[in-house]
Structure 1
Amino acid sequence: MPDPLAWIPEQLELLESLERRRTIHIRSTQQGPNVAWKDREQINFSSNDYLNLAADPRLQAAACAAIEREGWGSGASPLITGRGQSQADLETALAQFEGTAAALTFASGFAANAGVIDALADRGDVILSDSKNHASIIDGTRLSKATVRVYPHRHLDYLENLLKQCGTFRRRLIVTDTLFSMDGDLAPLPELANLAEAYDAMLMVDEAHATGVFGANGRGLCEHFGLEDRVAVRVGTFSKALGGHGGFVVGSQPLIEWLVNRCRPYIFSTAPPAANAGAMLAALRIVHDEPQRRTDLLAKATWLRTQLREIGWSLGDSESQIIPVIVGTENLAMSLSAKLYEMGMLVPGIRPPSVPDGECLLRISLSCGHTQQHLDTLVAALTELRL
């Protein structure tokens, strides 16, 4: 019989010829500032485990306790079998942590973004999206039946001109990351809030890389800029600074009830396991009780950015724990990544489709678990590679 998938090997060979074929490797130790990769010990500058919680024994203990109480699998979606007590407790604690009326948890941050956008904007509406938004936001705009307008990265004048042209749409939704995952730069949130109010638009933000890191209480950049009451929809993830898995949305009670009724990834996904909810309850307590984790992380990031800029590397407009070393070409990014690996450091090269052609980079992700010796080793290596 003919193979209907016979075209795939040829396309894989094409990716191979372009040096864009990706493979999955086994990480042989727990997540942390040091990791074994391909059976070689590496300083881990590739993880989004910003607060060094992924392997924290307190999260492990909380997960085990939740399994003892509620078992492992959830059985079905929350609307079919209900949610477990740990999940309900997590959503209550999350709303308290974020200072909102209510919260809703999802199986992934991707599902949260894609589903919320589709639930908020439909035919007759318009979505205005930053050109460097995460793939989950981009796919959410594509799933929606709304008209989509993309504005250049952080370009407020362009966005305002679009808003002036969108008066005939029923609803307007501005959506942006708050901390951009590849460039490490920040969205101009105060100005976006002003535009949303001036043009009667909803403002939705994804705090995925900012939750736990920015703000006096670790709530993210909305808290950092004092905008929590002016941003209608805030999405986040447990899978980065909080060291777990899944996504969430926080906001008003009517917003959360609307999502329960209209958000397809929530309605049609099996509820996350109690173990994750238990671990994330522990993570929220640690973020509250140990603010030095985020202050230490941001201090290290400031120091490292200063050192790398003095060497002569281009870091763009990074203001965060995500530090892009912008090199331009794909070959150079992957070559530098390979050389750093040989020197004992896991620093991924980022290339299309994760970034546009000509904007390839090394993506350095810092953790509060990195020591000064780790940072000195990286600076010394990038000094040598810069010569």
Structure 2
Amino acid sequence: MTEIQDATDAFRKDLSSSTFVRAMVETGVRPFYRTMHMTGAGEAVVEGRDVVMAGCNDYLGLSTDPRVTAAAAEALTRYGASCSGARTLNGTLPLHGELEGRIADFLGTEAAAVVTTGFQANLAVAAMIGRGDIVFSDMSNHASLVDGIRLGAGRRVLYPHSDTARLDTLLEQATAAEPTAGKVLVTDGMFSMDGDLCRLPALTELAARHGARLVVDGAHDIGLLGPGGRGVAEHFGLMDRVDLFTGTLSKCFGSTGGFLAGPAHVVDYLRYSARSILFSASMPPAALAAGIAALGIAAAEPWRRRRVLALAEALRAGLRALGYDTGDSVTPVVPVLIGDATTCALMWQALLDEGVFTNAVGAPAVPEGRCVIRVTVQATHSDVHLERILDAFAAAGRRVGLVPELPAQAVAR
């Protein structure tokens, strides 16, 4: 290795500058990069130990569904493990077109394009943001949206989370200062850390009034919300007011991969202009077939949506009875506010000791000093699983000092 003086060494980076990572080191807790596999029905094996899986985005419980895995296995046998190339060259299978058609039909858009990951779908948004354009982004948007906006050539304007009044002011100021600028509003549909929904009715009104396009990342809500599972736009009855959807197959649809859906001319432009599409190997056959199968199952089995939303409501009620703050969550993402990084690390370990795997989340995914234990539920969780999660929070909370004693409400539960 080349010898370089510390002051000029570009590789001299220190993880201890992260408060959250430093807390993990100091406590000896290791919540990240644990080896595990899902065993189905809301359970997993984490480094040899059976646990309740309460930290996975498989909301509808389809990633281990035998129909999904059988479709993936068949495609693997027929087409191989990889296309070994980008979509533009040798990386397009019949399965790509089938999945794109299914997604477009499902969302009622003219066209759709599938990409290798949901992250890359949001990076593709950069191609729509040219010089002279202004992008208005919710401060709680997913990191992939943030990076996609940064890669674009336009100017970025951030607004406080769900503060549509402030957004209105920023739009007015931008229009006055740059009357010829193209304007784009970009938001998560369902926010992945808080579990709340964007204020889509207000956003569509602002977009119409200020002549702006609206892009909604439906990664966490498409497949889950709305009468037909079409996401937050259907939930609010505003499917025709969203100009471009982005999304992923790795949450509700039991696979991996991303997509963009909207007007045909926009999708075609992205196919030939978005670098994350042009210069990336295409989705592998097994993932495509799994996504096709899962999309059909999700549409045909609405009980999965009803079940997971009911479980989430019961979980929030139980956690609040124990004295925990679950914020504004109305979805299967239930954040439990812990506060400082050290306490969050200790709480995560205590929950694992009780046999429940969750997610410890700190900055930059959430604001500094507002670390959370992120809990997610699945349609395949049983009532017994729910009881085990709540019992684990009661026991772990007492051990860490967040729950001094078991409240009467929890005893009566």
Given the two structures, how large is their TM-score scaled by the length of structure 2? 0.89
Q: 1:49 to 1:259 in 2, by over 3 A?
A: same
1:52 aligns with 2:56: no
Question: Where does residue 286 of structure 1 map in the other structure?
Answer: 297
Report the alpha carbon displacement of residue 342 of structure 1 after superposing the two structures with TM. Answer: 0.5
Among 140, 153, 172, the alignment partner of 1:145 is 153
> Is 2:330 the counterpart of 1:326?
no
Counterparts of residues 190-205 of structure 1 (less than 5 Å): 190-205=201-216
After TM superposition, list the pairs within 5 Å mapping 1:177-326 onto structure 2: 177-326=188-337
Contact 2:23 2:341 (8 Å CA) reproduced: no
Match of 1:382 in 2: 393
Deviates most, 77-86 or 146-155: 77-86
Q: For residue 104 of structure 2, what is the amino acid of its counterpart? A: A
Residue 162 (structure 2) aligns with:
154
Q: Which amino acid aligns with 1:54?
A: S
| Residues 184, 319 of structure 1: 8 Å contact kept | yes
Match for 2:139 among 128, 131, 134? 131
Counterpart residue number, 1:166: 174
Secondary structure of residue in 2 paired with 1:364: strand
Q: Is the 8 A contact 1:184 1:317 kept in 2?
A: yes
1:361 aligned residue:
372
1:66 aligns with 2:75: yes
* Superposition deviation, residue 9 in structure 1: 7.5
Find the aligned partners of 2:221 and 2:214 in 1 and give their Cα distance: 17
Letter of the 1:81 partner, please give it. N
- Secondary structure, in 3 states, of the residue corresponding to 2:52? strand
SS in 1 for 2:367: coil
Shift of 1:70: 2.4
Pair 1:207–1:191, CA change in 2 (3 A): same
Would you say 1:80 and 2:81 are equivalent positions? no
- CA contact under 8 A between 1:32 and 1:44: conserved in structure 2? no
Which residue number in structure 1 is paired with residue 103 of structure 2?
94
Q: 1:29-85 CA deviation, whole Å, 9 max, x = no partner?
A: 546511111221111101001111111111111112222332232131111125100
Is 1:35 matched with 2:17? no
Task: Describe the shift of the 1:381–1:17 C-alpha distance in structure 2 as closer, same or farther (beyond 3 A).
Answer: closer
Corresponding residue of 1:2: 2
Number of residues of Structure 1 aligned to a counterpart in Structure 2: 386
Matched-pair contact (CA < 8 Å) for 2:85–2:282:
yes
Q: 1:334 to 1:31 in 2, by over 3 A?
A: farther
Deviations 1:247-299 (A, max 9, x none): 00111111111111211111111111121111111001101111100101101
Q: CA deviation at 1:353?
A: 2.0
Cα 1:201–1:14 shift into 2, 3 Å: closer
Match status 1:122 vs 2:125: no
Structure 2 portions without partners, runs of 5+? 398-402, 405-413
Root-mean-square deviation (Å) = 1.9
Pairwise CA distance, 1:3: 4.2
CA distance in 1 between partners of 2:14 and 2:215 (Å): 37
Tell me, yes or no, if the aligned pair for 2:91 and 2:281 is still in contact at 8 Å.
Answer: no
**8 Å contact from structure 2 (residues 359, 373) kept in 1:** yes
**19, 22, 25: which is aligned to 1:18?**
22
| Residue 2 (structure 1) shift | 2.6
Aligned partner letter, 1:18: R
SS at match of 2:267: helix
DSSP-derived class of the 1:19 partner? helix
Distance 1:273 1:310 in 2: 45
Q: Is the 8 Å Cα contact of residues 24 and 345 (structure 2) preserved in structure 1?
A: no
- Are the aligned partners of 2:36 and 2:47 in contact in 1 as well (CA < 8 Å)? yes
Supply the distance in 2 between the matched residues of 1:356 and 1:329 (Cα, whole angstroms): 11
- SS at the partner of 1:257? helix
Answering whether residue 119 of structure 2 is matched by residue 110 of structure 1, we say yes
Going from structure 1 to structure 2, the CA distance change for 1:28 and 1:112 (only over 3 Å counts) comes to: closer
Match for residue 342 of structure 1 among 317, 335, 353: 353
| Percentage of pairs with the same residue | 35
TM-score with structure 1 setting the length: 0.95
For residue 56 of structure 1, what is the amino acid of its counterpart?
A: D
Q: Residues of 2 paired with 1:321 and 1:243: CA distance?
A: 16
Assess if the C-alpha contact under 8 Å between 1:324 and 1:362 holds in 2: yes
Structure 1 stretch displaced more, 293-302 or 74-83 = 74-83
Alpha carbons 1:32, 1:49 under 8 Å: kept: no
Q: Deviations over 1:215-254 (max 9, x none)?
A: 1111111111111100001111001111100100111111
Hey, what's the Cα distance between the residues in 2 that align with 1:266 and 1:152? 31
Q: Secondary structure at the match of 2:336?
A: strand
Question: Kindly tell me: are residues 28 and 101 of structure 1, through their superposed partners in 2, closer, same or farther at Cα, counting changes over 3 Å?
Answer: closer
